[in-house]
């Protein structure tokens, strides 16, 4: 992991929402003619571990969502399967969700962590508290530009097709000092994990898109 703003390490504990772009983050960016892509179980486990870690630390699961400019059936599937709080799709100007999170969940931009990889994401990245940009060798100039403009705090060593989400999750848990506690909890599968699991499974994914420049429910 490349760290551009080390002072942001102290803000991980204040995060209330974790947002992920889809294309180029959970996969390489390649899709078929139906808009379908893939994801890895290593990254899926990462989603579970970061939510578990925050739950053990704060007593609640952070608001977790995928926000994408397209509509991908695989993203819908993963959001449902993992009981994410939200899936925002066909959102071209991603900062539009900030008012929604503030009005409905009292989550301010400074309390949001965003994982992204490309130009479409920068309007949101420049507004939120912590920004992780997923590496892509062909976009080194874009990464340098985003860094120069103060739009990223960290970048991965892996690209989206090589489990970049998992890299970010383990980095977060380790720097928050809760990696061992989180892993032990998952291994033991004891009461603490069962409580977390019950909370997680009770979450129903809210799916939203954009109509007339406004977010609307599916």
| pLDDT at residue 186, as a whole number | 98
The count of domains in the chain is 1
Distance between CA atoms of 131 and 112, rounded to whole angstroms? 9
pLDDT on residue 180: 98
pLDDT at 161: 93
Q: What pLDDT shows up at residue 39?
A: 95
Q: Model's pTM, two decimal places?
A: 0.96
Q: What is the pLDDT of residues 91-104, one digit of tens each?
A: 999 999 999 999 99
Cβ partners under 8 Å of residue 30, min gap 6: 37, 161
pLDDT at 218: 79
Which tokens hold the place of 166? 């998992």
Which parts of the chain sit beneath pLDDT 50? none
78-136 pLDDT tens trace: 999 999 999 999 999 999 999 999 999 999 999 999 999 999 999 999 999 999 999 99
CATH number of the domain enclosing 108: 3.40.50.1000
8 Å CB contact between 39 and 164: no
Q: Is 92 exposed, middle or buried (0-12, 13-18, 19+ CB in 10 A)?
A: exposed
Six token digits for residue 191: 């009461």
Asked whether 147 and 132 are in contact (CB, 8 A), the reply is: no
Distance CA 68, CA 91 (A): 6
Q: Per the structure block, which two tokens stand in for 168?
A: 């970010």
Distance between CA atoms of 2 and 198, rounded to whole angstroms? 35
Residues spanned by the domain of 61:
2-217
| Per-residue pLDDT at 214 | 84
């Amino acid at each position: 992991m490349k760290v551009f703003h080390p002072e942001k390490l102290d803000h991980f504990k204040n995060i209330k929402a974790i947002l992920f772009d889809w294309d180029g983050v959970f996969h390489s960016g390649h899709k078929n003619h139906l808009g379908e892509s893939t994801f890895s179980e290593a990254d899926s486990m990462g989603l579970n571990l970061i939510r578990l870690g925050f739950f053990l630390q704060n007593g609640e699961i952070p608001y977790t969502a995928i926000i994408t400019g397209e509509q991908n059936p695989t993203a819908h599937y993963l959001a449902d399967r993992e009981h994410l709080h939200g899936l925002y799709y066909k959102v071209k100007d991603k900062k539009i969700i900030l008012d929604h999170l503030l009005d409905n969940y009292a989550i301010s931009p400074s309390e949001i962590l965003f994982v992204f990889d490309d130009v479409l994401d920068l309007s949101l990245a420049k507004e939120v508290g912590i920004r992780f940009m997923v590496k892509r060798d062909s976009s080194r100039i874009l990464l340098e530009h985003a860094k120069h403009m103060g739009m990223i705090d960290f970048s991965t060593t892996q690209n989206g097709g090589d489990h970049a989400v998992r890299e970010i999750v383990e980095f977060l848990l380790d720097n928050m000092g809760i990696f061992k506690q989180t892993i032990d909890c998952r291994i033991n599968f004891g009461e603490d994990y069962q409580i977390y699991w019950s909370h997680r499974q009770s979450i129903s994914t809210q799916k939203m898109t954009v109509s007339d420049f406004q977010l609307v429910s599916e």
